[in-house]
Amino acid sequence: MTARLVISQRAEEDLTRQYRWYLDHAGMEVAERFLAAFDASMALLAVFPASGRRCRYAAPELTGMRWQAGRAPFVLHLVFYRAIGDELSIERVMHGARDLPRRLLEPSLA
């Protein structure tokens, strides 16, 4: 069974920001490969939602969240999500070198 993907506003903002960064610093080809790698990761997670690792952060708001590294060569970008029933909610997409517990709790920029 394939889970239905729902991408949060914050995850959309993360993806847009990272895409623009790659576009400005590495060019269109790399930016497009980043999005293709994200899409490939989502296709796999939709089939195997329990494959990601559980987050072990103290904040109660992060309970039940999992993470999965992106596809090569973007393995330092992490996808944070929740699997609830037949729905896969993508919460954030960010570089793993960030202050993750703090950044995961940041409000949307919009």
CATH of the domain at 99: 3.30.2310.20
Q: Give the mean pLDDT of 60-79.
A: 93
Residue 10's pLDDT is 94
3 state DSSP class of 4 = strand
Q: Do the domain assignments include residue 92?
A: yes
Between 12 and 97, the higher pLDDT residue: 12
Q: Do the domain assignments include residue 109?
A: no
- Model confidence at 110, pLDDT cuts 50, 70, 90, reads low
Rounded CA separation 14/94 (Å):
7
Residue 96's pLDDT is 87
- Model confidence at 105, pLDDT cuts 50, 70, 90, reads confident
Are residues 35 and 65 in contact, defined by beta-carbon separation less than 8 angstroms? Answer: no
Could you tell me the pTM of the whole model?
Answer: 0.91
Q: Do the domain assignments include residue 43?
A: yes
107 pLDDT higher than 90: no
Are residues 62 and 49 in contact, defined by beta-carbon separation less than 8 angstroms? Answer: no
For the chain, the domain total comes to: 1
Q: Give the mean pLDDT of 28-40.
A: 97
Between 106 and 27, the higher pLDDT residue: 27
3 state DSSP class of 6 = strand
CA-wise closest residue to 83 among 60, 52, 58, 59: 52
Rounded CA separation 96/31 (Å):
18
Q: Give the mean pLDDT of 37-51.
A: 94
**Domain residues for 77?**
4-104
